[in-house]
Amino acid sequence: MRLVATATIHPGEVLGQTIYRDNGTILLHNGIPLTERLINRLVEQGISYVYIEDEATKDIVVQPVISEKLRHDATSSMMRLFSSIRDSKLKTNSFVLDEESTNLTDIINRMMDEVNGHEESITLLTDIYLTDDYIFQHSLNVAIYSLAIGSQLKLNAKELAELGTGAILHDIGKVFINPDILQKPERLTDEEFSIMKSHTTKGYDLLRNNHTYSSVVAHCAYQHHERINGSGYPRGLKGEDIHLYAQIIGVADVFDAVTSNRVYRKALLPHEGLELLYSSAVNQFNIPIVEAFKNSVAVYPNGISVELSDKRKGVVVSQNKHTCDRPNIRILRDVNGDVEPYTVDLSIELNVVIIDCDLA
Ligand SMILES: [Fe+2]
């Protein structure tokens, strides 16, 4: 598979990944040849890049971090939870959390096993969801990334379970926010923004009133938009006053938001998303958390075309687990033109670096 800019795809080229709706149903199956109409539709939906199959890279694969079954079960559980909270006529919605809590605990445990058992560094670029409201998949992705960061930071199993639960429920307060505000593509007015921001306190109140989850889980919902320099919300907490889990979830949340395809803006590639985190890390994020994240995510995912500092060009074939920014590259070209393909391992060839990614 090769990762390409959607706008550069030619009709007849074959889709290398399945594209889903937010509810987990399939919109486009991998393996289908793309028509002009489908390509235009992907562009219109804000899908910046997709995987396609081609001869030169047909052996390059991306292992999903979690199985399709787990993603489906997790999505269904989240959907049930959100809709029963919405439908709840009682003053307190906490009882519906109880009903779904056993399922959710099981899902977090399975997720911990699958994330821990995943050999390669993490890439979620294969998981494309088309929808205006992508809250379920976003919550799952944030949980996956948070668990990976937590493992890097050597949290124990109990701590990871708590972090994973806090992560999957971090935006649960959005169930109380008008969808027109949540899905508004244009800039929010001050009033709309303050309503949107209240998802943190609303989520906290909901979880705090429920005794199934610890107060730490409620604080993940409360504090995940706080930033260590005090610029976040709802309280403008600083530094260590923000719970470690909320800081981890904050990093995962921003990364998933900027690297996901949205109708109103272009998705960043993983190395660009990381650059953004690093450039704001000094002020907004805790550097060790960003470092831990960089050590678990595929900076240059399989199938992406890269240029090296010595002018050789190629495609990322596979990842090196402990050096996530130095994958294995199949060289296809050098300064003299096309070459017989061969692989270089950037974790060994330390004198070259990746200087550019090319999706054309
Ligand atoms: Fe949020």
Q: What is the pLDDT of residues 218-275, one digit of tens each?
A: 999 999 999 999 999 999 999 999 999 999 999 999 999 999 877 667 788 999 999 9
Task: Among 74-78, 141-145, 176-180, name the most confident range.
Answer: 141-145
Q: Distance, CA 122 to ligand 1 centroid (Å)? A: 22
Residue, of 322 and 35, whose pLDDT is higher: 35
pLDDT value, residue 130: 65
Is residue 96 within 8 A of residue 81, CB to CB? The reply is yes
pLDDT value, residue 28: 86
Strand, helix or coil for residue 281 = helix
Q: Distance, CA 330 to ligand 1 centroid (Å)? A: 39
Closest CA to 313 of 357, 272, 360, 348: 357
CA dist 246 and 216 (Å) reads: 9
pLDDT value, residue 135: 85
Strand, helix or coil for residue 90 = coil
Q: For residue 92, is pLDDT > 90?
A: no
Average pLDDT, rounded, for the chain: 89
Closest CA to 186 of 263, 268, 273: 263
Q: Distance, CA 23 to ligand 1 centroid (Å)? A: 19
Q: Distance, CA 145 to ligand 1 centroid (Å)? A: 15
| DSSP per position, 298-340 | -SS-TT-EEEETTS-EEEEEE--TT-TTS-EEEEEEETTEEEE
Q: Distance, CA 251 to ligand 1 centroid (Å)? A: 11
Q: Distance, CA 27 to ligand 1 centroid (Å)? A: 27
Residue type, 164: G
Q: Kindly indicate the confidence band of residue 282, based on its pLDDT and cuts at 50, 70 and 90.
A: confident
pLDDT value, residue 278: 93
Q: For residue 131, is pLDDT > 70?
A: no
Residue, of 125 and 66, whose pLDDT is higher: 66
pLDDT value, residue 215: 95
Task: Among 41-55, 126-140, 195-209, name the most confident range.
Answer: 195-209
The secondary element (H helix, E strand) that includes residue 270 is helix 270-281
**CB neighbourhood size of 36 (10 A):** 11
Is residue 307 within 8 A of residue 355, CB to CB? The reply is yes
**Mean pLDDT, range 307-318, rounded to an integer:** 94
**Mean pLDDT, range 287-292, rounded to an integer:** 95
Q: Distance, CA 357 to ligand 1 centroid (Å)? A: 30
- In the chain the domains, ranked by start, together with CATH numbers, are 2-57 (3.90.105.10), 69-294 (1.10.3210.10), 305-358 (no CATH)
pLDDT value, residue 20: 80
**Mean pLDDT, range 49-64, rounded to an integer:** 87
